[in-house]
Amino acid sequence: MCLVCVLGAASGGCQRGSTRAPSAAGGPPAALGTTIGALAEVVLPAPLAVEGYGLVGGLAGTGSGYCPPEVRAYLKQYVPTQLPHERVNVDELINNRNTAVVALEAMIPALPSVGERLDVRVSLLAGSEATSLHGGWLYKAELVPRGTFGAQIRPLATVEGPVFIDSIGTVASEPRRGWTLGGGRTLHEYTLLLRLRKPDYRVAGLIRNRLSERYGPGIAQALSPREVEVRIPADYRRRKQRFASTLSAMFLEVSDELLGARINTYVKGLTGSGDRDGSEIALEAIGRECAPMVSTLLNSPEAEVRLRAGRCLVGLGDSRGLTPLRDLALDPASPYRLEALEALMVSPRHEDAAALGRRLLRDAEVPMVLATYEHLRRMEDPAIVREAIGRGFTLEQVVQSSHKAVFVSRSGEPRIVLFGAPLRCRDNLFVESPDQTVILDARTGQGHISVIRKHPKRPGVIGPVRSSLDLGDLIRILGSEPATGPSGNLLSLGLPYGQVIALLERVVAQEAVAAEFWAGPLPKIDLGVKK
């Protein structure tokens, strides 16, 4: 499916809300031939605001039955489709004080893939008597283009998951608003669209044939005299913007004479003072034929030239680019470390990238360690040990790190990462959560931590629950679904993710564990002005 057209149809036409892809070098010399960019523009959809309505359950009496009639009618139609084998009285479900109807908002990025994760803002409706979404779970809901709710239009994403309410640092907790971190999932695959400047079936066919020759049969399809649809090749799944730029830079005519002139021109451009970005993209668009000339730049005295040459070669699947990129990534004095790491980690050479990544986990610079961790995590590398904690978040442990730190995410998938694991708490501590509902207590020589929780629904406390001094064990007890042992003793508390990480911040701040505390950024959703 062409997502450009899906999004365009939702807003009244394919041209609305779209942008042009960046092109290379501002146009080549005429003697080098005609590029696709001279004949067509690469159309990218702009990031799109989506919205919806849903139902949050699992609230401890803090919900409300408030629901506008049009939203209630929608939920009465939608909820039964998600529970086809159950008889559900939707009105009773909405009116329950343990549920609340919420508004949902998110941004679909410019180049989404099927199943791409989205952070979704979850807010109580204006006029709702509900007081808090703390501890709630958003049942599956649909997201449609902003301003189209109620229209007969296919959803662009779905969302479900726990509601995260941030209380890290000095941020004042707002219990009526939260997020589902990474709980959204896009439903459509993105394909690029080339729009010819002058409609011409012959030219559209030539472009299709040229792209199929370069990237493989079926990569492009001429939809009309004006439009050519282009699928993103597998090697570019992590570099979609890069692929869009190479399309504009690709030459339509191919001959040995022109090929040599083009390679010479852009190799010189890569070392000159002009548009180095454009030259690098143009060389990658040419393909593996340029590799012998580009490889001569790998020993350049200029680090930027080595970076660009190595990145171009790796992008073309040539292993000669790996060594200079690895050297730049490992050089603590290089300003190109993160760029080199990115180029290596998105390359098809999985094993080489993973080996370097495991080495860089021990790097002294925190941004380098975190960037490496994110790449290795995406690659599902065994250096990152993962386990699900209840339905709320994941616990990850990174042994191969010279840092001792607790990292907590506040966007994307909710997760707690222990760098330098295992981390061990001291045996003399008293820590209270920011909301004063959880207490951690350990006395000298006791050898364990007693965890007590204020009961969320009635007077009294839950616990104590006994945890070892291992921080990973404590996190499991705090976040795993409530459970009891054979003798009836409580084993875990089922705290919401936001409450667990706020407590961990206190644990580190009071030096109950010898580690730093690293909090990831909050979601950034610029929804613009609602029309």
Local confidence pLDDT in tens for the 531 residues of the chain: 333 333 333 333 333 345 555 544 456 777 899 999 999 999 987 889 999 999 999 999 999 999 999 999 999 999 998 887 788 899 999 999 999 999 999 999 988 889 999 999 999 999 999 999 999 999 999 999 999 998 888 999 999 999 999 989 765 678 999 999 999 999 998 889 999 999 999 999 999 999 999 999 999 999 999 999 999 998 888 899 999 999 999 999 999 999 999 999 999 999 998 899 999 999 999 999 999 999 999 999 999 999 999 999 999 999 999 999 999 999 999 999 999 999 999 876 667 889 999 999 999 999 999 999 999 999 999 999 999 998 889 999 999 999 999 999 999 999 999 999 999 999 999 999 988 899 999 999 899 999 999 887 778 888 899 999 999 999 999 999 988 888 888 899 999 999 999 999 999 999 999 999 999 999 987 765 443
pTM score over 0.75: yes
- Nearby residues of 77 by Cβ (< 8 Å), 6 or more positions away: none
Provide DSSP, 418-453. Answer: EETS--BB-SSEEEE-TTS-EEEEE-TTT-SEEEEE
Q: Distance between CA atoms of 503 and 505, rounded to whole angstroms? A: 5
Phi and psi at residue 104, to the nearest 5°:
-120, 140
Which 3-state string (H, E, C) describes 165-200? CCCCCCCCCCCCEEEEEEEEEECCCCCEEEEECCCC
Tokens describing residue 226 = 């004006």
Which residues are registered as beta bridge partners of 205? Answer: none
Residue 50 parent element (H or E)? strand 48-57
* Single-letter residue type at 153: I
Give the pair of three-digit tokens for residue 347. 């390359």
Would you state the pLDDT for residue 21? Answer: 56
Alpha helix (H) residue ranges in 35-191: 36-39, 69-82, 90-95
Q: How far apart are alpha carbons 331 and 363 in whole angstroms?
A: 10
Question: How far lies 229's CA from each of 154, 203, 245, 264, 362, in Å?
Answer: 21, 14, 15, 31, 44
Measured CA to CA, the distance from residue 488 to residue 349 in angstroms comes to 52
Residues near 217 by beta carbon (within 8 Å), at least 6 away in sequence:
none
Instruction: Compute CA distances 81 → 75, 77, 149, 275, whole Å.
Output: 10, 7, 18, 55
**CA 117 to each of CA 160, 186, 469: distance values in angstroms, whole numbers, following the listed order:** 11, 7, 34
Beta-ladder partners of 513: 425
Contacts of residue 26, defined as CB under 8 A and 6 or more positions apart, other chains included, come to 275, 278
Torsion over CA: 91, 92, 93, 94 (sign): positive
Q: What is the rounded distance in angstroms from the CA atom of residue 475 to the CA atom of residue 405?
A: 14
Q: Can you tell me the distance from the alpha carbon of 250 to that of 233, in angstroms, rounded to the nearest whole number? A: 15
Alpha-carbon gap, residue 505 to 458, rounded angstroms: 27
SS3 (DSSP) at 29: coil
437 and 135 Cβ atoms separated by less than 8 Å = no
Q: List Cβ neighbours of 198 (8 Å cut-off, separation of 6 or more).
A: 39
Supply the pLDDT for residue 531: 38
